[in-house]
Every structure is written in C-alpha cells, then in structure tokens.
C-alpha cells in the first residue's frame, strides 16, 4: 500500500531532518488515520517537493517525521490548465477531483454564458474555497506532489489566457479534429476549455478561436462536463508520452 500523504509548508529538506506537521492535517493523521510512531508517511508542500520517512513522535495535534528520502518529480516540460465551466450540484466538484488526479497544474472556474450556476458575492467565494479544498484532498488521495492553483475567470479573462498559452484547446462535440491529432509543444503551458451542461455558445467559441484556440473532439459521443476535462487530460498525457 502506498504511504499516506499529508500537506505541510516547507521549502527544502535533507535526509535526517525532522519536519513537524501541525493543525488540522496533524489531527487528521493522528486521530482519524490513526498514524503511530514508526509508521512511514509522506509529507508534501504541494509545490512539487515531498519527503518520506518514519513518524518520530506524535501529539494531539502534531506529528514529526524523520526524513529518510527526499522526493521530487521529474521536471514537467508541458503543464496543463483546465478551464472548467461552472456546473450544477456535485458535477463541478467531480470535475475538479478528476482533473487533479490526472495531473492538472491549474484549474480555472469559468462563468460561461450558459452556466446555470452563477457565482456572485459571498456565494462565489465559498464555492471557490470548496473547489480549492476538493483539489487539495484529491492531490493527497492520488499522491500528487502538486496541488493545483484554483482561480475564477470570466470569458474576457480567458481570452487573454488563450492568447498567452502555448497551446489552447476547446472541447467541442462538433469539432472535426480529434485531440489525438494535435501536435504538442515540447514545453510551456497548455489550456483545455470545458463548457457547461448547455455547451459553449457560438459566440464564446468564435472568440476563443480568434484568440488562438483550436476546437477538438475527444469522443464520438457527448461527455458530461464533469468528466470531459479528465478524459481530455488523460488523452493528452498519453499523447505526450508517445511523442
């Protein structure tokens, strides 16, 4: 079984060093997961650096780990941002969870014109916090060393993001090009845009394409907004490994 992973802020680590985990994460480790002295765990800063080692000591809301191994993933030359249109109920949460599990480095919540859900004021802030918490927990569950940055954007914001990306793709069921035909850049940033349940409007699609995005399909069917992003990112990961 893979060692459990907990998040803690640290900038560097060396074998033999002790790292202290406190607060809610430590409480979860000690009181919920029942981690005891001697068990091996992973600690990660959510920015690509992690350590593995045995638990040296535990308290009510703290836990210290003796670093035996420093883990750092190989540098990723091409990182992906998922633009996820707001969706009803738990579909947005599922989209964030799955995108994190397959390696999205950043997730942007998008208020599309056809989004039934509207984020305004305090409601929007709480919803964004929930997305961030979902991404954090999904990173821990999937042992990802990067917790995706989660932000909010309007369509106007996305036009600028598309123009600055090295590759921008819009998932659309009527696209004639399949995602497998896309030539990936060797490095840089990629953007995948997923529309809401009602689909991306023709006006939004035109604006994205004018800004430099490409419309692509990922299936011969129509996927739900909650699963489309993860399917696309999985296909892109395979494409990148095979290129």
Q: What percent of the chain is predicted at pLDDT more than 90?
A: 81
* Sign of the alpha-carbon dihedral angle for 112, 117, 122, 124: negative
Interatomic CA distance for residues 135 and 218, integer angstroms: 23
| Single pTM value for the model | 0.92
Query: Average pLDDT, stretch 142-171?
Result: 96
Query: Average pLDDT, stretch 175-201?
Result: 94
pLDDT at 117: 85
Q: What percent of the chain is predicted at pLDDT more than 70?
A: 99
- Angle, helices 91-101 vs 225-242, to 10°: value is 10
Residue 198 has pLDDT above 70, yes or no: yes
Q: What token pair was written down for 138?
A: 């999904």
Query: Average pLDDT, stretch 109-134?
Result: 91
Domains and CATH numbers, the chain: 5-71 (2.40.240.20), 78-242 (3.40.1280.10)
Question: Which of 136, 154, 153 has its CA nearest to residue 145?
Answer: 136
Summary count for the chain: helices (H), strands (E):
6, 12
pLDDT of 41-81, one tens digit each?
A: 999 999 999 999 999 999 888 999 999 999 977 777 899 99
The C-alpha angle with vertex 94 and arms to 142 and 185, in degrees rounded to 5, equals 65
**Please, which pLDDT band fits residue 242 given cuts at 50, 70 and 90?**
confident
**Please, which pLDDT band fits residue 1 given cuts at 50, 70 and 90?**
low
- Angle, helices 91-101 vs 121-141, to 10°: value is 40
Interatomic CA distance for residues 14 and 49, integer angstroms: 11
pLDDT of 79-90, one tens digit each?
A: 999 999 998 878
Residues with Cβ within 8 Å of 197's Cβ and at least 6 positions away in sequence, in order, are 87, 88, 91, 114, 116, 224, 225
* 3-class SS of residue 208: helix
């Amino acid at each position: 079984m893979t060692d459990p992973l907990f998040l803690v802020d640290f900038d560097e680590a060396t074998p033999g060093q002790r790292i202290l985990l406190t607060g809610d994460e430590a409480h979860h480790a000690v009181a919920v997961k029942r981690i005891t002295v001697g068990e091996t765990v992973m600690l990660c800063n959510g920015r690509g650096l992690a350590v593995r080692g045995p638990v040296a000591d535990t308290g009510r809301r703290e836990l210290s780990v003796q670093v035996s191994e420093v883990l750092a993933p190989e540098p990723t030359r091409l990182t992906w941002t998922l633009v996820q249109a707001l969706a009803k109920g738990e579909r947005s949460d599922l989209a964030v969870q799955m995108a994190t599990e397959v390696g999205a480095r950043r997730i942007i919540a998008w208020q599309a014109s056809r989004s039934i859900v509207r984020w305004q004021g305090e409601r929007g802030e709480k919803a964004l916090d929930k997305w961030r918490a979902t991404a954090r927990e999904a990173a821990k569950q999937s042992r990802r060393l990067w917790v995706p940055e989660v932000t909010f954007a309007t369509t106007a914001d996305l036009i600028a993001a598309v123009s600055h990306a090295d590759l921008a793709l819009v998932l659309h069921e009527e696209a004639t090009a399949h995602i497998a035909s896309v030539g990936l850049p060797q490095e840089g940033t990629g953007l995948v845009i997923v529309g809401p349940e009602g689909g991306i409007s023709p006006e939004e699609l035109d604006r994205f394409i004018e800004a430099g995005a490409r419309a692509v399909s990922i299936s011969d069917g129509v996927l739900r907004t909650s699963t489309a992003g993860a399917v696309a990112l999985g296909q892109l990961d395979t494409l990148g490994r095979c290129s």
